[in-house]
């Protein structure tokens, strides 16, 4: 991975097969070793398998195997009312249930044209950004854990996560399975005490980020293990549909909060951090920096949040039948673009209900990133993608 310049010239020529993983020849000495990493490997974040062919320590082929957690959520949703699927979306990316709720609510609102009251928009933004902090802190914690720093960094991340999950529990009634958003607003309003509690937690977060950063960023082992490892070229990242922090770590400025300006994101000032070296270290840094931008967004939202209702008064929860048609709604979930594609035939159930899972599609380039590197780096590269199997397999 020394000269990235030659790679770019190859890409701009758009030769056939430029977006396929390269073929790596074994050096001819000894035999190839085929290893099934997973489905119960501790680094797979669940049940996921990589069939790896090794030439010595070098990866020459890697095929991901999915489906261990498949329950055909899409089929189940077609047999349920629109609202009936809302609690089920919590179980997709179970680290970030609130953004899943939001994406689904947004898609249905696109289908029906419902308005969302101001206060609900602010609550969605606050909860969405808190979710992003939870996800990024945990993702970094898991990444360091997989590097061999057993426990301690992960527990640092989980310490903050607990505080935020307590906030979720206070407003929604559940730490993780929140079932909070509705088509046209949110289920319950926030009390002034809750908003004050968010402020208290928020005030402690920059200190946590500083501490985390001081511990990790200059760490010699972390730098040696992650810098220059798992490089993902921007052209390939875009072509392979990679989204979220992964895409931005490859230097592509694409944040759906800025592009679509869904919700009320046009009112907040925040920056989009971009990577320069396109490697695992950049993906780790981007998450740290995005976390800090999220603190800023929550701070602005807490200052501006107006009073008023949190549900559209005209919103119908029972007997909800959207007009025939279809809609695709998407948000910038912490892991990437989470989209819902709905087709309505005028009935109470969606005719077609499709989830665009960022975790699955970000894995498309896993083989490309891992080829030629050592088998120990596969764990790190995979960890830097940041997936949750509930969403990959659905």
Partner 1 sequence: MKTVEEIKAAIEAAVPGAAVDIMPNPSVSGQHSLRLDAGHAVAVATFLRDDAELSLDFLSNATGVDWPDKEVAEKVKVTRTVTKTVDGVEQQVEETVEETQKRVVPGCLEAVYHLFSVAKGHGPVVIRMKTANRTDQVQLPSLTPVWRSAEFQEREIFDLFGIVFTGHPDLRRLLMWDEFKDHPMRRDYVEPDDFEYEPTAHDEVLARAQGQKKQGTGNRDQGSGS
Which element (helix H / strand E) includes 121? Answer: helix 118-146
323 binds partner 1 per the rule CB under 8 A: yes
Q: Which member of 174, 188, 302, 343 binds partner 1 (CB under 8 A)?
A: 343
Q: Which member of 173, 204, 325, 347 binds partner 1 (CB under 8 A)?
A: 325
Chain-centroid distance, C-alpha 131: 10
16 binds partner 1 per the rule CB under 8 A: yes
309 binds partner 1 per the rule CB under 8 A: no
12 binds partner 1 per the rule CB under 8 A: no
Q: Is 180 helix (H, G, I), strand (E, B) or coil?
A: coil
Kindly state the tokens that stand for 98. 């609130």
CB of 339 to partner 1, least distance (A): 5
CB of 370 to partner 1, least distance (A): 16
CB of 159 to partner 1, least distance (A): 35
CB of 71 to partner 1, least distance (A): 10
Q: Which member of 36, 271, 328, 347 binds partner 1 (CB under 8 A)?
A: 328
How many C-beta neighbours within 10 Å does residue 272 have? 14
Q: Which of the stretches 42-50, 97-105, 288-296, 350-358 binds partner 1 when contact is defined by CB under 8 A?
A: 350-358
Q: Which of the stretches 40-48, 281-289, 307-315, 363-371 binds partner 1 when contact is defined by CB under 8 A?
A: 363-371
Handedness of CA 178, 184, 185, 186 (dihedral sign): negative
Give, in degrees to the nearest 5, the angle at Cα 67 between 62 and 70. 155
Nearer to partner 1, 72 or 191 (CB): 72
d(CA 44, CA 60): 20
- Provide DSSP, 251-313: T----HHHHT--TTGGGS-------SS-SHHHHHHHHHHHHHHHHHHHHHHHHH---S-SB-T
CB of 367 to partner 1, least distance (A): 10
259 binds partner 1 per the rule CB under 8 A: yes
Binding mask 53-92 for partner 1 (x = CB under 8 A): -------------xx--x-x-xx-----------------
CB 132 within 8 A of CB 159: no
Q: Is 240 helix (H, G, I), strand (E, B) or coil?
A: coil
N-terminal to C-terminal alpha carbon distance within the chain: 35
SS3 letters across 372-386: CCEHHHHHHHHHHHC
Q: Which of the stretches 125-133, 181-189, 205-213, 318-326 binds partner 1 when contact is defined by CB under 8 A?
A: 318-326
Look up tokens 């080829």; give the residue: 371
143 binds partner 1 per the rule CB under 8 A: no
CB of 19 to partner 1, least distance (A): 4
43 binds partner 1 per the rule CB under 8 A: no
Kindly state the tokens that stand for 81. 């009312």
Q: Beta-strand (E) ranges in the chain?
A: 33-37, 49-55, 58-65, 181-182, 185-186, 325-333, 336-344, 352-356
Q: Which of the stretches 108-116, 126-134, 137-145, 298-306 binds partner 1 when contact is defined by CB under 8 A?
A: 108-116
User: Site for partner 1 (CB under 8 A): how many residues?
Assistant: 49
219 binds partner 1 per the rule CB under 8 A: no
CB 246 within 8 A of CB 139: no
138 binds partner 1 per the rule CB under 8 A: no
356 binds partner 1 per the rule CB under 8 A: yes
d(CA 94, CA 89): 9
Q: Which member of 95, 236, 380, 381 binds partner 1 (CB under 8 A)?
A: 236
361 binds partner 1 per the rule CB under 8 A: yes
Q: Given the rule CB under 8 A, which residues bind partner 1?
A: 14, 16-17, 19-20, 66-67, 70, 72, 74-75, 110-113, 236, 238-243, 252, 254, 259, 322-330, 337, 339, 341, 343-344, 352, 354, 356, 360-361, 363-365, 393-394
């Amino acid at each position: 991975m020394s000269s990235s310049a030659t790679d770019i010239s190859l890409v701009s020529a758009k030769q056939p097969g430029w977006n396929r993983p390269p073929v790596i020849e074994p050096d001819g000495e000894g035999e190839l070793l085929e290893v099934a990493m997973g489905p119960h490997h501790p680094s797979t974040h669940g049940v996921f398998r990589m069939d790896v062919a090794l030439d010595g320590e070098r990866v020459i082929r890697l095929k991901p195997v999915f489906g261990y957690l498949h329950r055909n959520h899409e089929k189940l949703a077609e047999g349920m009312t629109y609202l009936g699927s809302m609690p089920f979306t919590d179980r997709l990316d179970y680290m970030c249930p609130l953004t899943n709720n939001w994406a689904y609510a947004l898609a249905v609102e696109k289908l029906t044209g419902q308005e969302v009251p101001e206060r609900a928009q602010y609550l969605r933004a606050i909860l969405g950004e808190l979710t992003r902090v939870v996800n990024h802190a945990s993702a970094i914690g898991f990444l360091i854990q997989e590097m061999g720093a057993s426990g301690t960094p992960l527990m640092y991340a989980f310490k903050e996560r607990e505080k935020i999950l307590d906030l979720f529990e206070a407003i929604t009634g559940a730490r993780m399975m929140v079932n909070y958003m509705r088509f046209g607003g949110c289920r319950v309003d926030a009390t002034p005490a809750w908003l004050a509690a968010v402020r208290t937690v928020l005030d402690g977060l920059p200190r946590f980020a500083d501490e985390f950063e001081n511990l990790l960023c200059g760490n010699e082992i972390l730098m040696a293990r992650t810098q220059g490892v798992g490089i993902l070229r921007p052209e390939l990242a875009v072509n392979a549909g990679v989204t979220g922090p992964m895409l931005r770590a490859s230097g592509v400025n694409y944040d759906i909060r800025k592009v679509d300006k869904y919700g009320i994101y046009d009112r907040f000032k925040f920056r989009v951090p971009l990577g320069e070296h396109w490697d695992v270290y950049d993906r780790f840094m981007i998450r740290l920096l995005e976390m800090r931008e999220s603190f800023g967004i929550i701070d602005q939202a807490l200052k501006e949040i107006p009073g008023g209702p949190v549900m559209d008064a005209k919103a119908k929860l029972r007997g909800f039948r959207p007009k025939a048609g279809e809609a695709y709604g998407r948000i910038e979930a912490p892991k990437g673009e989470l989209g819902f594609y709905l087709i309505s035939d005028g009935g109470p159930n969606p005719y077609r209900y499709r989830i665009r899972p960022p975790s699955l599609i970000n894995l498309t380039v896993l083989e490309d990133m891992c080829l030629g590197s050592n088998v120990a780096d596969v764990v790190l590269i995979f960890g830097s993608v940041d997936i949750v199997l509930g969403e990959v397999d659905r």
